[in-house]
Every structure is written in structure tokens, then in C-alpha cells.
């Protein structure tokens, strides 16, 4: 027996097996203890509540919902609300962070100092405080509907939210959508071809201009040829409130704006560090070739910096998803407020509700991590 444990490999396997058995035993004990306590208190153990009538309203939904809907329907409402906030916040925070991060390195003294002030302000004040500031001190302090701030009658902003034009789709609107998809496919194909030509010959093609033309021209032409099948409904004042258009409630606007501006401060520092990490000789070589500063940054510096930017950027995207749970403090009905809050309180199915909620956040985080890791593997420098 003693001879077996002198083998490092066998000893390692034994210790790992013992640790696994200990953890499994603790998990079984905790499960049995929880089941016994919940049974004694009459707490449901299954998911029978899923199809029961919820009995409460949700004021912001992306899918049809009423008080007569089920708890399962309420779960999907909360999930879609969380995903919409996370996706929009990521889409806004990333470009803002890149712009501010590059501005930090600008030779313009005023621009670089303004970017520095922004970064330090965002990074050194709590996110919750910023959310409450935007919600209570900014949005709730706006005038009422009759005194709404108007953008040439196209959009309105007041203490009840932001009103944007609502698209109204006619009979042949699908043709415009098909033309848009074909334009995007053509732009992607041209970009791939241009990259291959540049790698083979060194010739730089006008990818951005051609891609923009390919994406915009087909849907615009189809829109005119098909008789303008897409129109817009604008908000109008009726009585004491605005009607029509798309209403973005103050809770949604405050949450998205707060998450975006806060996370952009961290992304800006990530971008700045990534750009600074690129050897200065690369900038000098680009200048020697006659490349303007903007093109050198886009074609030489940023592609090399991405291999260092993407890993910490993944963490910031994940933070946006997790920080969106702070929606409860501004009253936005996300997954935590609707499902882990109201549904849990009404059904008392604590284990089931919390397990589902944690599982959802875990899946979302894993999907984001896998996507960015795949992109990072693609842009990483390949050793020859």
C-alpha cells in the first residue's frame, strides 16, 4: 500500500477522488436538508407553478403579457428585458469606450484631458449612484409631456420617457428587408475579398465606402421601387400625454445610459493600454510609409492592439450583463425583478427560481465568452 502512494500520479488521482467524494457528500447533505425543510414548511419543490396565472402586470414588455398570463410568460418577459438592456448597453459602451480610449492618447491637450476626466469620473463613482443620478436627478427632473423637449417633431423627451418614431410596415416591406440582407452579404463578401487581395498584393481597397454603398443602396432602391412600403408613426400630444411612436420609459433609458457610460470608462482604459502596448516602431514605420495618423491607427496599431484588448473587453461585456440586475433600484422589470423578485415572493419556490435565474446568467455569460474567445483567436497574431 505504501508503495502505491509513493507514485505521484496515483497519489494525485486518490486526492482528487477523495475531494470529489467529499464535495458530492456535502451536496447530497445540503439537498436533503433543503428538501426536508421546504417540505415541512409546505414550500413547492417542482415547477408546477410555471403554468399558473401570474396575477400581476408588467409595464414594459417586448412580447404580449397581461395579469392573466402565466409565471412562465413572466419569466420570458423578464429575460427579454434583460437581454435588450444588455445588448443595447454593449452596443453603446463599446464604441464610446474606443473613442474615449483613443482620445486619451490624442496630441490635443484639451481633448485628452477631457477624456481623462471622463474616465476618472466614471471609474471612481459607484454604478448604483450613477444609475440613481440619471434616473432621479436627470430624467425625473425633465418637464412634463406638454413641455417636452422636441427634436424637430421626430423625437420627444420628457419625464415619462423618450418617444421615437415607430416603423409601420406595408405589404411589400419584406422586399426591403431582403434587399438589406443581400446588401450586407455583398458587403461582407467584398470585405473578405479585399482582405485577401491586400494580403497577396498589398493593395488597399476602399472597403468602408464600398460596404456602405452595398448596404444602403439596395434597400433604398427597393424602397422606392416598391412604393415606399415602410412609413413611420410619430408621437403627438393628446390631452396630457403623448401618443404614438415608440416610448422608452425613464427606467429603461436610465439603466442603458448608466450602464453604457459607466462601462465605457473601463473600456477606454483597456483600449488605451492596448494601443500603448504596441511597439512605437510600428507607428514610426506607418509614418515612414506616408500613412496619415487615422489610417495608421486603423490599419496598423488597432489590429495589433486587439489581441490585448479582447480578453479584458470580454470581462466588461460580462459585467454589463451582471450589472443589469441593478435594474431593481430604478424599477425596470428585468429578470431579477420580475422572476427572482415578484414570482419568487408569490410562489415561494425559492430553489427553483434561483436555480433558473443563476442558470440563465451563466448561459448568457458563457455564450458571450465563447463568441469573444473565438473572435480573439481569429485576430490573434499567428506564430510562423
- Whole-angstrom distance, CA of residue 45 vs CA of residue 26: 20
Contact between residue 73 and residue 80 where contact means Cβ atoms under 8 Å apart: no
How long, in residues, is the chain? Answer: 384
Please state, in angstroms and as integers, the Cα–Cα distance from residue 21 to each residue in 7, 9, 18, following that order.
21, 18, 5
Q: What percent of the chain has pLDDT over 90?
A: 38
Between 299 and 183, the more confident residue is 183
CB-CB neighbours of 56 under 10 Å: 15
State the average pLDDT over residues 250-278.
92
Q: Long-range CB contacts (< 8 A, 24+ apart) of 367-373?
A: 368/314, 368/317, 368/318, 368/321, 369/314, 369/318, 372/310, 372/313, 372/314, 372/317, 373/314
Please state, in angstroms and as integers, the Cα–Cα distance from residue 79 to each residue in 28, 49, 62, 73, 178, following that order.
30, 18, 10, 10, 29
Specify the pLDDT at position 2: 52
- Whole-angstrom distance, CA of residue 14 vs CA of residue 22: 12
pLDDT in tens, 144-192: 888 888 888 888 888 888 888 888 888 888 888 898 999 999 988 988 8
R_g (Cα) of the chain, nearest Å: 27
Residues 6+ apart with CB under 8 A from 384: none
Reported as type and span, the H/E element at residue 162 is strand 161-164
Specify the pLDDT at position 227: 85
**Which CATH number, 3.40.50.2300, 1.10.3720.10, 2.60.40.420, 3.40.47.10, labels domain 31-164+247-384?**
1.10.3720.10
State the average pLDDT over residues 257-266.
95
- Whole-angstrom distance, CA of residue 7 vs CA of residue 22: 23
Specify the pLDDT at position 266: 95
Q: What percent of the chain has pLDDT over 70?
A: 96
DSSP class of 167: E
pLDDT in tens, 76-96: 999 999 999 999 999 999 999
Task: Answer whether residue 202 shows pLDDT above 80.
Answer: no
* pTM (two decimals): 0.83
Specify the pLDDT at position 318: 94
Domain ranges of the chain: 31-164+247-384, 166-233
Please state, in angstroms and as integers, the Cα–Cα distance from residue 108 to each residue in 104, 113, 295, 302, 312, following that order.
9, 9, 18, 20, 27
Residues 6+ apart with CB under 8 A from 287: 296
Specify the pLDDT at position 71: 92
Reported as type and span, the H/E element at residue 267 is helix 250-277
State the average pLDDT over residues 320-341.
92
pLDDT band of residue 313 (cuts 50, 70, 90) is very high
First and final CA of the chain: distance in angstroms? 49
pLDDT band of residue 293 (cuts 50, 70, 90) is confident
Specify the pLDDT at position 152: 83
Task: Answer whether residue 124 shows pLDDT above 70.
Answer: yes
- Whole-angstrom distance, CA of residue 168 vs CA of residue 209: 30
State the average pLDDT over residues 284-288.
78
pLDDT band of residue 379 (cuts 50, 70, 90) is low
pLDDT in tens, 213-256: 888 898 899 888 888 888 888 888 887 788 888 888 999 999 99
What are 35's three cell numbers? Answer: 428538501
State the average pLDDT over residues 106-125.
92
State the average pLDDT over residues 196-221.
84
Specify the pLDDT at position 118: 95
Provide the β-strand partners of residue 238: 241
Residue 52 DSSP SS3: coil
Specify the pLDDT at position 297: 78
Specify the pLDDT at position 24: 92
| Helices of type H across 124-203 | 127-132, 173-201
Specify the pLDDT at position 155: 87
- Please give the mean pLDDT across all residues of the chain: 87
Contact between residue 214 and residue 183 where contact means Cβ atoms under 8 Å apart: yes
Amino acid at each position: 500500500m505504501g508503495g502505491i502512494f509513493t507514485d505521484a500520479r496515483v497519489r494525485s488521482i486518490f486526492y482528487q477522488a477523495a475531494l470529489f467524494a467529499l464535495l458530492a457528500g456535502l451536496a447530497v447533505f445540503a439537498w436533503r436538508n433543503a428538501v426536508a425543510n421546504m417540505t415541512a414548511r409546505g414550500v413547492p419543490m417542482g415547477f408546477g407553478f410555471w403554468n399558473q396565472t401570474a396575477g400581476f402586470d408588467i409595464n414594459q414588455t417586448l412580447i404580449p403579457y397581461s395579469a392573466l398570463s402565466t409565471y412562465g410568460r413572466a419569466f420570458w418577459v423578464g429575460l427579454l428585458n434583460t437581454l435588450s438592456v444588455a445588448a443595447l448597453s454593449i452596443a453603446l459602451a463599446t464604441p464610446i469606450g474606443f473613442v474615449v480610449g483613443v482620445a486619451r492618447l490624442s496630441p490635443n491637450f484639451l481633448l485628452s484631458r477631457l477624456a481623462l476626466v471622463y474616465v476618472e469620473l466614471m471609474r471612481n463613482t459607484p454604478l448604483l449612484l450613477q444609475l440613481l443620478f440619471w434616473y432621479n436627478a436627470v430624467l425625473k427632473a425633465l418637464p412634463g409631456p406638454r413641455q417636452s423637449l422636441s427634436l424637430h417633431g421626430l423625437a420627444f423627451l420628457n419625464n415619462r420617457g423618450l418617444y421615437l418614431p415607430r416603423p409601420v410596415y406595408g405589404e411589400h416591406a419584406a422586399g426591403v428587408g431582403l434587399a438589406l440582407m443581400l446588401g450586407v452579404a455583398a458587403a461582407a463578401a467584398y470585405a473578405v475579398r479585399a482582405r485577401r487581395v491586400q494580403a497577396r498584393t498589398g493593395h488597399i481597397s476602399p472597403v468602408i465606402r464600398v460596404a456602405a454603398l452595398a448596404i444602403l443602396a439596395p434597400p433604398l432602391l427597393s424602397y422606392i421601387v416598391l412604393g415606399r412600403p415602410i412609413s413611420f408613426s410619430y408621437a403627438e400630444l393628446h390631452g396630457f400625454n403623448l401618443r404614438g411612436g415608440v416610448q422608452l420609459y425613464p427606467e429603461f433609458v436610465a439603466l442603458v445610459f448608466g450602464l453604457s457610460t459607466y462601462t465605457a470608462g473601463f473600456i477606454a482604459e483597456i483600449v488605451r493600454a492596448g494601443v500603448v502596448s504596441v511597439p512605437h516602431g510600428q507607428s514610426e514605420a506607418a509614418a515612414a510609409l506616408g500613412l496619415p495618423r487615422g489610417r495608421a491607427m486603423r490599419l496598423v496599431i488597432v489590429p495589433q492592439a486587439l489581441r490585448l484588448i479582447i480578453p479584458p473587453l470580454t470581462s466588461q461585456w460580462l459585467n454589463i450583463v451582471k450589472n443589469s440586475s441593478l435594474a431593481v433600484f430604478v424599477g425596470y422589470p428585468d429578470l431579477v425583478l420580475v422572476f427572482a423578485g415578484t414570482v419568487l415572493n408569490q410562489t415561494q419556490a425559492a430553489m427553483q427560481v434561483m436555480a433558473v435565474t443563476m442558470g440563465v446568467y451563466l448561459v448568457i455569460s458563457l455564450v458571450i465568452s465563447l463568441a469573444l474567445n473565438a473572435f480573439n483567436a481569429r485576430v490573434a497574431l499567428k506564430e510562423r
